[in-house]
């Protein structure tokens, strides 16, 4: 009987959506680029700092989405001798760049809004209302195109676009105050609220990206429950060297050493291996590397790595 074995399962829960992810990001890029030009000149026409601020933010979005588009294509390359796990983490690079751009853009908007408080200006309320309605429609369409994305890269882009929609809802509300009550200061307040919200969300997204880079266990996966379920399988007498991580916030990877009785026959050995693979797949593990050990193997391959 072969007493030292590595077994692998490789069934991605998310591989099917790669083409749709790239297509959605590409569509979002073109929609965002066209609208940036519209809102920039619209902001100058209405003299609205909220609109101009959002134009600056959306310009950063265009750069971020272009990066996302490039890295999403790059991340689909197959594993090779240089990247044996493949290129999927390139999408995380894009997510980090996207979030950093938002952080910088938010800081610029906050600084500009504070300066605008010192010298308030008259704002064209009706123009704000019309641009806000257009912004909600165009950015809403972009959100729908990326709404199915689950990877960190797509989440970052979806966050950008969703925040754009919320920003324009805020501009729409502000436009009513400016147009009907001539409360021009509301324009600046809205700019600050949008910028602070974007800043906080971007920092949260950056933390999530760095946690993935540091190979933290995915938030929706319980190592405790996984280990308990494995220990309850027939033939499993010990579990050690269990590691769980994710490449891009979506595909869960796991490696584990499992001790089985020394006198296990070959048929039961295979049955234990199949049950471990089946359980892991059911609990959401996309790629599993499992090593089954008897006592001699544990001493040779495990104890020496303590």
Are 24 and 149 in contact by the 8 Å Cβ rule? The answer is yes
**Does 217-305 carry CATH code 3.30.70.100?**
no
Are 264 and 273 in contact by the 8 Å Cβ rule? The answer is no
| Helices 152-181 and 90-118, axial angle in degrees (round to 10) | 20
Q: What is the pLDDT of residue 282?
A: 92
Where do the structural domains in the chain lie, given as residue ranges? Answer: 15-213, 217-305
Q: What is the pLDDT of residue 119?
A: 66
Q: What phi and psi values does residue 165 have, to the nearest 5 degrees?
A: -60, -45
Residues 6+ apart with CB under 8 A from 6: 289, 290, 291
Partner residues linked to 66 by β-bridges? none
Task: Give me the DSSP letters along 255-270.
Answer: EEEEE--TT--HHHHH
CA–chain centroid gap for 263, Å, is 47
Q: What is the pLDDT of residue 97?
A: 81
Residue 166: closest CA among 197, 141, 123: 197
Residue 9 and residue 104: Cα distance in Å, rounded? Answer: 42
Q: What is the pLDDT of residue 130?
A: 81
The tens place of each residue's pLDDT in the chain, 306 residues long, gives 444 444 444 444 444 345 556 666 777 777 777 777 777 777 777 776 667 766 776 776 777 778 777 776 777 788 888 888 777 787 788 778 878 877 887 787 787 777 766 666 566 677 778 877 887 887 777 777 666 655 556 666 666 677 777 777 777 877 777 777 777 777 778 778 877 887 888 888 889 889 988 889 988 899 999 999 999 998 888 898 999 998 877 789 999 999 888 777 778 888 888 999 999 999 999 989 998 887 655 444 455 445
**Does 15-213 carry CATH code 1.20.1510.10?**
yes
- Provide the token pair at 270: 């295979």
- Rounded (5°) CA angle 63-67-72: 150
Residue 253 and residue 154: Cα distance in Å, rounded? Answer: 20
Q: Tell me the CA distances in angstroms from 59 to 97, 170, 198, 221, one per residue in order.
A: 14, 19, 14, 36
Q: What phi and psi values does residue 87 have, to the nearest 5 degrees?
A: -110, 20
Are 89 and 74 in contact by the 8 Å Cβ rule? The answer is no
């Amino acid at each position: 009987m072969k007493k030292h074995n590595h077994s692998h399962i490789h069934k991605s829960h998310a591989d099917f959506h790669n083409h749709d992810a790239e297509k959605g990001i590409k569509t979002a890029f073109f929609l965002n680029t066209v609208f940036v030009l519209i809102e920039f000149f619209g902001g100058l026409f209405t003299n609205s700092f909220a609109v101009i601020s959002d134009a600056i933010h959306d310009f950063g979005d265009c750069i971020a989405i272009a990066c996302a588009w490039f890295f999403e294509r790059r991340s689909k390359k197959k594993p090779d001798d240089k990247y044996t796990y493949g290129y999927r983490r390139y999408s995380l690079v894009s997510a980090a760049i996207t979030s950093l751009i938002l952080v910088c853009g938010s800081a610029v908007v906050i600084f500009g809004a504070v300066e605008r408080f010192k010298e308030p200006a008259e704002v064209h309320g009706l123009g704000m209302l019309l641009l806000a309605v257009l912004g909600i429609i165009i950015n809403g369409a972009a959100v729908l195109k990326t709404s199915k994305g689950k990877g960190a890269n797509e989440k970052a882009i979806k966050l950008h676009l969703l925040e754009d929609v919320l920003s324009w809802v805020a501009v729409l509300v502000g436009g009513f105050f400016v147009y009907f009550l001539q409360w021009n200061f509301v324009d600046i307040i809205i700019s600050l609220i949008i910028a602070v919200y974007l800043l906080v969300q971007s920092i949260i997204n950056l933390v999530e990206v760095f946690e993935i880079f540091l190979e933290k266990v995915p938030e929706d996966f319980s190592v405790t429950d996984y280990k308990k379920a494995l220990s309850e399988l027939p033939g499993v007498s010990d579990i050690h060297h269990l590691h769980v991580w994710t490449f891009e916030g979506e595909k869960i990877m796991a490696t584990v050493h499992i001790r089985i009785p020394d006198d296990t026959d070959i048929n039961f050995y295979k049955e234990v291996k199949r049950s471990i693979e089946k359980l892991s797949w059911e609990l959401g593990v996309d790629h599993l590397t499992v090593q089954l050990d008897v006592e001699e193997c544990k001493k040779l391959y495990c104890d020496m790595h303590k």
